[in-house]
Structure 1
Amino acid sequence: MAETTLLRFITCGSVDDGKSTLIGRLLHETRQIFEDQADALARDSRKHGTTGDDVDYALLVDGLEAEREQGITIDVAYRFFATPARKFIVADTPGHEQYTRNMATGASTADLAIVLVDARKGVLTQTRRHSFIASLLGIRHVILAVNKIDLVGFDQAVFDDIVADYAEVAEHLGLERVETIPLSARYGDNIAERSDRLGWYDGPTLIELLERAPTANRAGAAPFRLPIQYVSRPNLDFRGFAGTVASGEIAAGDPVTVAKSGVSTKVSRIIGPDGDQERATAGQAVTLVLADEVEASRGNMLCRPTERPEVADQFAAHIVWMDEQPMLPGRSYWLRTETDQVPATVTDLKHRQDVNTFAHEAAKSLELNEIGLCNLSTQAPVAFDAYADNRVTGAFVLIDRMTNATAGAGMILHPLRRAANVHWQAITVDAEARAALKHQRPAVLWFTGLSGSGKSTIANLLEKKLHAQGRHTFILDGDNVRHGLNRDLGFTEVDRVENIRRVAEVARLMAEAGLLVIVSFISPFRAERRMARELMPEGQFVEIFVDTPFDVCAERDPKGLYAKALRGEIANFTGLDSPYEVPEQVDLHLRTDGRDASELADQVNGWLSSRGFLI
């Protein structure tokens, strides 16, 4: 007997198009509702329903109390049902624009999308948005379901107009297969049986369309990939590489290669949940024992020698932004793949995608639910495939390094080859050797605080004292750098992030020269100060918070900037309409209240001496 296949699909579209009602009706028609559930549904329909005396099938899916009260889907709800011909897992995804990120989650594992359109409203912005995200996430088969056809008198002309409108969307997105059906989810028209009220439609029912829809089986046909989840070493005689086969298959005795190093060996054993097995295929969790001792760890990948993935530290990707805080090029995030995690930055936002017109728009950042094409750079090479070739090894998420919240979801397009010939050049004389000649340890002294807090004054006095002692120093001051290196940058959040990134790179190079580098910048964001710290070797970055209250800074106003900002003449001024994120943990906290700048410079000098920076 042939194995019953499984189809994963999503329902999507604009808010209140009837997605939850449709899934509830599918569960009802395929007899997935028990008697006690039917009784509870009848009670809930009277309490929460929106269908009068009729059963509100949407309540079978809208499990959150907030959803039931508002009549919208917020979370992604997964449901299982089956017919004699096939098994199904359906994701009911939110229609409201606010929850587009949830829709992307549901689409990431689906083979097919049912795009619902309210017959009264036609193709809307969210219809386009969801169709675009579905295509971006690899869905090429769509069923266009024109719902609530009963509310337009089962009019064929309305249906035909909507089909024609959507055809333009499908053509632009390159959808390979679009099937259309008129239906009424509330009353069951064309769900499991053809409706007598739609005599002009002679096509299959929705369930028939789902039963005959092809499954992609992309994972089975793709090259072998085993992202290493864990290195199993229970004793000195055993070393295995555990993970779930992302795609393809492997057999005992087959050759394999470690993706990042290129070292090849053979598979000597494949161990599954029930012991040794001859083969492993996509979706199976196994441990591979290799014939030779090779260096590989979590985050690496095993593959066939002739079918290796890309390994690069720069690549292009589409990103769906999921965070309330905007995506800022230059800011450091954690990039997490199936098993790997590395620091990464968006080096360039090539364009933002307009989901209404599908036009490419110039942008400096991505806001919540926006989609953009970006170039990314990681601190270490990552093994990956193009998302179009492998959904598992071509996907990643970006994690906010301060909050650990998922900030964005990415689909890799291709590596960026422009840096393929750039390698680190080994240099014999290092920073410590250079600094030893100067009788000091290299350091980056990073002064942060509000404008007018006294950073530059203290930094200047500190350098004067160090110079008198024969120390080798250099000051990087915020205003001075903007006359040259950063003269092209403004004061938006994006420009501020890039400002700090460039200065941090310059400070690192100066520290490599063995200098005591004194950096005086407002540097308002914790994420960028953390990025600067992580660029330097352990113990070389010293964060110094010049703690002066806003009122005191505004009263000093040495450059007249506060007065202008308070009059509205300067936009994005830190402390007023642009935030300053107070350091939570610093190496040195300078409280300026009641103390003069020379005394504070002496404090820093003494701290450097006590920590061994001044030899």
Structure 2
Amino acid sequence: MSTTSEQLADPSATTLLRFATAGSVDDGKSTLVGRLLHDSKSVLADQLEAVEAASLSRGQETPDLALLTDGLRAEREQGITIDVAYRYFATARRRFILADTPGHVQYTRNMVTGASTAELAVVLVDARNGVVEQTRRHAAVAALLRVPHVVLAVNKMDLVDYAEPVFAAIAEEFTTYASELGVPEITAIPISALAGDNVVEPSANMDWYGGPTVLEHLETVPVSHDLTACHARFPVQFVIRPQTAEHPDYRGYAGQIAAGAFRVGERVTVLPSGRTSTIEAIDALGESVDIAWTPQSVTIRLADDIDISRGDLIAPAADAPVTTQDVVATVCHVADQPLGVGQRVLLKHTTRTVKAIVKDIPSRLTLDDLSQHPAPGKLVANDIGRVVVRTAEPLALDAYADSRRTGSFLLIDPSDGTTLAAGMAGESFASAKALPAEQDEEGWDF
């Protein structure tokens, strides 16, 4: 089976949009999501019946559409979202994967999970309260994760008499703040999720607004899937050696292509060893193909017998990343226990996990004025800061600006496996200042 470059550029590959919702507690995120699902006819009859029954048991006369996403019993009892709720729905124009993330400050870490793969973020603001600290925090996380499109949904416009000046003031304040963070595209939409204004259908109460509804924007926002322009990266997950009579010498390297495309006959480099070879064959779903691209899971076979194991990275020889042991990055701290200078951690990058030590925490971001608080000494839950990490083994990291998949990593507590921080590599490692090799008190070599 042969796959051509024309198939790689197939426009049908652009019909999926991953997006996340975020906002402060009670801003109406779950109601917005429920309204989207309900008004776009994406709710099954039994689901709607269950919501109606749950609403009646709580003394509500009309169905509470927020319950379509708030699935955990603790969430329903408290009336808030405390976990990331994923929903899948489709319209005639596009398919969607939606992550409804928590609003409470203590669950900001969950937004990092929900937005890490999102191509668009919907940030809700209560029209009565305007931009608050949690709004700024969500904007900072969206900018940090380089979400290319941000929608500001000014909700509960019905409670401010659909006043245009209220919407305009909030939109201007948020746009100014998010632009300073580096968010490339911001679209402001006035809505009432409870009444359905400007969610799926245009609002008759806000004739002064001439822009798209939320669903219309979701259906038409351009989503880039130009796979040929990405840095091709293939983290090895498993080495396949079937040892059968039919294939006595078979050696394949299985995994999911993280970015870009690979072709048979292409010259590649294996990192961190730096050895080079040529792609002899690519197996996908039991058949040989000429080309494969992200996010396909394939097996790559090389012309040369090279020592390759889980965690190694295969990349085009002409476009291989620089390996480093000195990682300079921005992190969002997600654990309850703090992250301090000198702390021993595990760093997980794609399929590779190595020992590491936090050498420095140069600064922490102050959300009010976007200033950098120098030398904080440690990061606590929900902090965003810069860190310098020294790894025991070289890593083939890309800059996060170039690749969200191979420019990101996790810092993990080696004692219990708790995820401590989500990191985004932010400097050119070719010019990163090298740190002297050393050994810590417990014998970890760095």
Q: Which has the higher contact order (CA 8 A, sep 6+)?
A: 2
User: After the TM superposition, which segments of 4 or more aligned residues of structure 1 sit over 6 Å from their partners?
Assistant: none
Q: Aligned partner of 1:266: which letter?
A: T
Q: Tell me the residue number matched to 2:416.
A: 403
CA-to-partner distance for each residue in 1:537-575, whole Å, 9 max, x for gaps?
xxxxxxxxxxxxxxxxxxxxxxxxxxxxxxxxxxxxxxx
State the match for 1:306 in structure 2: 318
Shift of residue 406, structure 1, vs aligned partner: 0.9
Counterpart of 1:306 in 2: which secondary structure? helix
**SS across alignment from 1:12:** strand
Deviation at 1:48, TM superposition (A): 4.0
Aligned partner of 1:107 among 111, 115, 121: 115
- Alignment equivalent of 1:254, drawn from 248, 266, 269: 266
Q: Alpha carbons of 1:418 and 1:86: their partners in 2 closer, same or farther (altered >3 Å)?
A: closer
Whether 1:278 and 2:290 are equivalent positions in the alignment is yes
Q: How does 1:459-474 map to 2 (within 5 A)?
A: none
CA distance in 2, matches of 1:371, 1:419: 22
1:385 aligned partner, one-letter code = D
Which of 26, 43, 46 pairs up with 1:16? 26
Give the deviation of 1:533 after TM superposition: 2.8
Secondary structure in structure 2 of the residue aligned to 1:315:
strand
Paired letter, 1:41: V
CA separation of 1:237 and 1:128: change in aligned 2, threshold 3 A: same
SS in structure 1 at match of 2:206: coil
Aligned partner of 2:35 among 25, 47, 52: 25
User: How far apart, CA to CA, are the structure 1 residues paired with 2:435 and 2:158?
Assistant: 63
**Alignment length, in residue pairs?**
429
Q: Distance in 2 between matches of 1:240 and 1:218?
A: 27
TM-superposed deviation, 1:47: 2.5
Alignment equivalent of 2:177, drawn from 166, 169, 174: 169
Distance change (3 Å), C-alpha of 1:418 and 1:135: closer
**Inter-partner Cα distance in structure 2 for 1:248 and 1:146:** 37
TM-score w.r.t. structure 1 length?
0.68
Contact 1:18/1:147 (8 A) holds in 2 = yes
> Equivalents in 2 of 1:89, 1:33: separation in Å?
15
Name 1:377's counterpart in structure 2: 390
When structure 1 is superposed on structure 2, of 82-91 and 259-268 the one drifting more is 259-268
Shift of 1:60: 0.5
Distance 1:22 1:239 in 2: 50
Is residue 340 from structure 1 mapped to residue 352 from structure 2 by the alignment? yes
- Give 3-state SS (helix, strand or coil) of 1:133's partner: helix
For residue 535 of structure 1, give the secondary structure of its aligned residue in structure 2: coil
Partner of residue 222, structure 1: 230
1:131, 1:333 → 2: CA distance?
28
Q: Does 1:41 align with 2:51?
A: yes
Correspondence for 2:137 among 129, 133, 142: 129
Structure 1: give runs of 5+ residues left out of the alignment.
425-504, 509-530, 537-615
Deviation at 1:420, TM superposition (A): 5.2
- The verdict on how the C-alpha distance between 1:287 and 1:324 changes in structure 2, with shifts beyond 3 A counting, is same
Which residue in 2 is equivalent to 1:289?
Answer: 301
Match for residue 213 of structure 1?
221
Match of 1:512 in 2: none
Q: Is the 8 A contact 1:398 1:408 kept in 2?
A: yes
Aligned residue identity for 1:31: K
State the distance in 2 between where 1:239 and 1:309 align. 25
Q: Is the 8 A contact 2:331 2:384 kept in 1?
A: yes
Contact preservation (8 Å) 2:278, 2:302: yes
The percentage of counterpart residues that share the same residue type is 45
Does the alignment pair 1:68 with 2:76? yes
Superposition map of 1:46-57 within 5 A: 46-48=56-58, 52-57=60-65
CA distance in 2, matches of 1:209, 1:90: 14
The residue type equivalent to 1:271 in the other structure is D
Task: Give 1:262 shift.
Answer: 2.0
Deviations 1:282-332 (A, max 9, x none): 101011110011122211111111101120000211111111111011111
CA distance in 2, matches of 1:41, 1:211: 26
1:385 Cα offset (Å): 0.4
- Could you tell me the TM-score, scaled by structure 2's length? 0.93
- Higher strand fraction (1 or 2): 2
* Shift in Å, 1:356: 2.2
Q: 2: distance between equivalents of 1:134 and 1:296? A: 36
* Shift, 1:276, TM fit: 1.3
Alignment of 1:421-436 (within 5 A): none
Q: Deviations over 1:206-265 (max 9, x none)?
A: 111111111132655211110111111222511111111111111111111112222211
Higher helix share: 1
Q: Residues 267 and 411 from structure 1, CA distance in 2 versus in 1: closer, same or farther, beyond 3 angstroms?
A: same
2:368 equivalent among 351, 356, 367:
356
